[in-house]
Every structure is written in structure tokens, then in C-alpha cells.
Amino acid sequence: MRYVIIGAGAIGGVLGARLAQHGKSPLLIARGEHGDVIASAGMRLRSPDDDTVVRIPVASKPAGVHLRVDDVLVFATKTQSLDAAVREWVDEPVYVDGRSIGTAGALLPAFIALNGIEGERIAARYFDRVYAVCVWLPGVHLVPGEVIVRIAPSSGTFIVGPAFGGASLGGSGSSGGGAGSSSATGGSSSTGGGPGSTAGGAAADPLLLELQRDWQDATFRIFLDDDVLAWKHRKLLSNLGNALQALLGPDAAPDIYDDLRSEAEAVYRALGITWPSDDDEAARRGNAFDLRPVPGTGELGGSSWQSVQRGGSIETDYLNGEISLLARSHGLDAPLNAEVQRLARSADGAMSVERLRELLERVAAR
């Protein structure tokens, strides 16, 4: 089985490098200078325990790839880039013995390794088989041809399963609601959150079992679960602070994040959206956030901070903006997340905490 990883940044780059390092079969899709450096010199992978260069096959677009029936597409772009990415790949031919037998959208599985919960919706417009991936991987991509992972010896934790096997994508269709609720919701066969636990349908899927073996061999912790979206709803709560790093820098104000999260949790409860408990997350994530120094690096922040440093767009419209969307589409209010979403569209990391607090206090007082 070959993993075609579309997007070779902090997540896709670390995943691809570790798979290649451990004898698996990744193909990275990377463009511009980043792709050129990987092609000519390999991918430099840095962690608290190692600093190595890994040679990985790389292409810049589908035209350079001969898709096979045993390929797995892993989308690891930012959400704002996903629609263009899936449209670029969906109609590509898939070959057996040199003969095209259909298209990628009809024949190949699409794994969505992105923050937020919009990615699965986007992919399902095009691909018949969509799998959700909840990502806990503190990766960094700032320099072409290089990625950093800030933990070791594990390189991260993934929760993987069918995109629509459990909780709904948002709205009144989900059951329960509230912090501390179990991840088992709305007909899911999830069996809890302890290390090594799996779910009924996902655990019986040969594709997922092979992926689990391959990725675990490559230093990742993998859990199979029929209700990945419950986990992605929880991860979304933590990602509400990404915009604060983009606005303020890596040392964002925790009190403002707490307010954003409390507002989002209120929206979740009003809509009957459930998410796993603190204990469930602690059991599953292992050392995914036990960050250690990486030799030779300076100040490092999360994905949105990295996007600002590289001069690119950030995905806040699909993080804080997801809370805004859920609220507005059900007659609710989420003014703090909406204001942070608005401000983050022009973020440069230079706003003061005092100025941000002032703006949010004005919004809250309306």
C-alpha cells in the first residue's frame, strides 16, 4: 500500500518522512521551493532525539503520479486549500496492469488529516470513501525542505475512522451534549478512550488495520474509532487558540482562549454536540503534547503562527469560523469567536494583548 500525502507541511511532511524512514511507501505532493528541495536534497526531519535527512519520492501535481489501485490518498493541506486539492485529484485515472479502471474519487480512499470538521464535508462532495483523521502532532514547517516534530520517541497520535460512522458534523442531530461526555454518541460503536481501544466497524476494516500497522511502525500511536468526528469536535476546541497565536505571537493569552472555548462549548451544548472527556483525551494522546526542546530551534508556535511566519493564509475561518457558522445557522450567538475570526484575517503577530482584550470587551458588551 502506498500513501500519497497531499500537502507536505508540518503534518504531511512529518508523516511522510517517518514512513519513509521506517521502510514504508509514501509519496509526497509538494510544490514550489519546498518540493524542489525535497526532490534534490531530501526532507530534513528534526526532533528532540534526531536530526536526519530522509529521501522521499516527491511530485508537484497529479500529472507526475501514476495512481494505483492500492494507493491511499492522505490530504494534509490547510482547510482553505482542500477544495482545490480534492478537485485536482478526484478525476485522476487509477491503473491496474497499465490499464485505467476508473477514477480516484470512485476507487481510492481519501483520508482527511486536517483541523476542524469542514474537511470531511468538502471531500465527501467528490470521494466515495472518506475517512476522518484527528491529528495530535506538534509539527512545525517554516523552512523549505525541513519539518520539525517537537516530541519523541513517538511522533504523534492519530485517531482514524470512517468520516460519517458516528456523530454528526454539527447541529441538532447529535445526542447528548456537554463537557466531560463520552465519545460514544448517536449510534457509534466506540468503546471508550483508553489506550489500545478500538471501535467495532473501524477495527474490522482491513484498510484501517493495515494503515494502523504501517503508521505504528513509523513511531505514531494510532487508534481506530467509528466516531472520529466527536474527537475532531474536541480538537476544534483546542484549535480556537490558534488565531490568538497568529494575532499575539506564540505566548497567547490563556484567559482569552478560555473565553473563546467557553463560548464554543455553550454552542455545542445548545446544539447537542458531544465531545470526549478530559480523561478520554489524556488516555489517548499519550505524549503528543509533552513538548521537548529541539536543538537549534528558537521560538516555535502552532500551525496558524507558522502560516503567518511563512506569509501564507491561515485557516481561522474553519476553526473559530466553524463556531461562528454553527451559531449563526441555528439562531445563536458566538461574538467572541466571530471577532477573533475577523481580526485573524489580517493577523501579523504584532497585536498587543491589551488591545485584543479591549476589542473583545466591546463586542461582549454589545
Domain containing residue 258: CATH number = 3.40.50.720
Residue with cell 526532507: 43
Burial class (CB in 10 A: 0-12, 13-18, 19+), 354: exposed
Residue with cell 509519496: 27
Show the low-confidence residues of the chain (pLDDT under 50).
167-168, 170-199
pLDDT for res 198 = 45
**pTM, two decimal places:** 0.89
pLDDT for res 241 = 92
The alpha carbon of residue 6 and the mean position of all alpha carbons in its chain are separated, in whole angstroms, by: 13
Closest to 43 in 3D by CA, of 57, 61, 55, 27: 55
Across the chain, what does the average pLDDT equal? Answer: 88
**Which range of residues forms the domain containing residue 48?**
2-365
pLDDT for res 366 = 83
Closest to 274 in 3D by CA, of 243, 236, 241, 242: 236
Written as nine digits, the cell of 7 is: 500537502
Torsion (CA) 121, 124, 129, 134 in degrees, nearest 10: -20
pLDDT for res 305 = 57
Beta bridge partners of 100: 95
Encode pLDDT of 259-311 as tens digits.
999 999 999 999 999 999 999 999 998 888 899 999 988 777 777 657 666 67
pLDDT for res 172 = 35
Helices (H) and strands (E) in the chain — how many of each? 15, 15
Beta bridge partners of 46: 51, 148
Residues written for the chain: 366
CA distance 216 to 296: 28
β pairing state of 43-46 and 130-136: unpaired
Q: Tell me the CA distances in angstroms from 142 to 34, 307, 338, one per residue in order.
A: 10, 8, 28
Print burial letters for 152-169: b (CB count within 10 Å at least 16), e (below 16). Answer: eebbbbbbbbbbbbbbbb
Strands (E), the chain: 2-6, 26-29, 43-46, 51-54, 58-59, 67-68, 71-75, 93-96, 99-103, 110-112, 130-136, 139-140, 146-149, 156-162, 220-224
How many domains does the structure of the chain reveal? 1
CA distance 362 to 357: 9
Encode pLDDT of 164-201 as tens digits.
875 445 443 333 334 333 333 322 333 333 333 444 58
pLDDT for res 274 = 95
Closest to 343 in 3D by CA, of 361, 366, 316: 316
pLDDT for res 122 = 97
pLDDT for res 44 = 98
CA distance 68 to 154: 30
Asked if omega into 153 is within 30° of 0 (cis), the reply is yes
Residue with cell 484549535: 239
pLDDT for res 121 = 96
CA distance 257 to 301: 15
Q: Which residues neighbour 364 within 8 Å (Cβ) at sequence distance 6 or greater?
A: 335, 336
CA distance 28 to 39: 10
State the amino acid at position 344 in one-letter form: A
pLDDT for res 286 = 84
pLDDT for res 288 = 83
Q: Torsion-angle region of residue 323: left (phi > 0), alpha (psi -120 to 50) or beta?
A: alpha
Residue with cell 467557553: 262
CA angle 118, 29, 216 (to 5 degrees): 75
